Amino acid sequence: MKIGLAVSTADALPSAFVAMRDDLGRCIDRCADLGYDGVEFALRHPSQVDVPRIKRRLSVTGLQVPCISSGQVFAADHLYFTHPDPTVRDQAVERIADMIRLAAEFGAMVNTGRVRGVVHVGEAPETARRRYLDCIHRCADIAEPLGVELIVEPVNRYEVNFVNNCTEGLAIVRECGRRCVRLMPDLFHMNIEDASFRDALTAARDFIGYVHVADSNRLAPGWGHMPFDEIFGILKDIGYDGWITAEILPQPDPDSAARQSVRFLRARFEARLVTQSGH
């Protein structure tokens, strides 16, 4: 598996769950020094990325950008797919389309987490579902020719009220029926919403495109009570060997959080490889 870290620009919202807020080039260099394989960019707008400069830093360090996440589009600009106003929905699709084009520059995925939106008061869940599916299909029309995957992240009920657990996420991915739309389990949200890690991950085994990790308290893995050995065993059982990216709080400080994450995850994966080899 490859290990990533979610990072953002210095002006990222306080609600952005990223370990580092800095110039993205410096984030890449710091992550390379710590031993990461890649960096996920949490963005508000694609213009935040100087593509030629970032490509140079990636070339020098050997890191990748596996994913671009869009939570700040929802949190800062209030653009999302289930909005009652079709103009706002159009703006949300346009913003994600621009992120898709940016992702294509790096061979990255696009996380359509909270940007999917909410079920509005007085409206039926089916109304939100219909609006969401229309928007995600429009995004898929752009993503598929570019080879970009759109990943659907279930988010816990305290942040949104639409697609909260992996069962709901899998259902909407299946209903969408587009080959570029896949599921992104986030262990932090799963710990709140899914009754069983094994049942949820096994049911979604053919649709998982990317995985977020954090400990039970949103801190770096190993600093809470998440059953990581059990979860990584399940991921092995279902044949998942893709990216594991830490989306964590920068506590007690960014470098300590980032260092703990990569050390903990690398040690777990290396121990599993030794076990598998029978040594």
SS3 assignment for the chain: CEEEEEEECCCCCCCCCCCEECCHHHHHHHHHHHCCCEEEEECCCHHHCCHHHHHHHHHHHCCECCEEECHHHHHHHCCCCCCCCHHHHHHHHHHHHHHHHHHHHHCCEEECCHHHCCCCCCCCHHHHHHHHHHHHHHHHHHHHHHCCCEEECCCCCCCCCCCCCHHHHHHHHHHHCCCCEEECCEHHHHHHHCCCHHHHHHHCCCCECCEEECCCCCCCCCCCCCCHHHHHHHHHHCCCCCEEEECCCCCCCHHHHHHHHHHHHHHHHHHHHHHHHCC
Q: Which amino acid is at 156?
A: N
Residue 40 annotated in active site = no
Residue 153 annotated in active site = yes
Q: Which of 40, 149, 153, 193 is catalytic?
A: 153
Distance of CA 14 to the CA centre of its chain: 17
8 Å CB contact between 231 and 187: yes
Q: What angle do CA 115, 117, 122 make, to 5 degrees?
A: 165
Rounded distance between C-alpha atoms, residue 80 and residue 270, angstroms = 40
Q: Which of 40, 149, 193, 247 is catalytic?
A: 247
Instruction: Enumerate the active-site residues.
Output: 153, 247
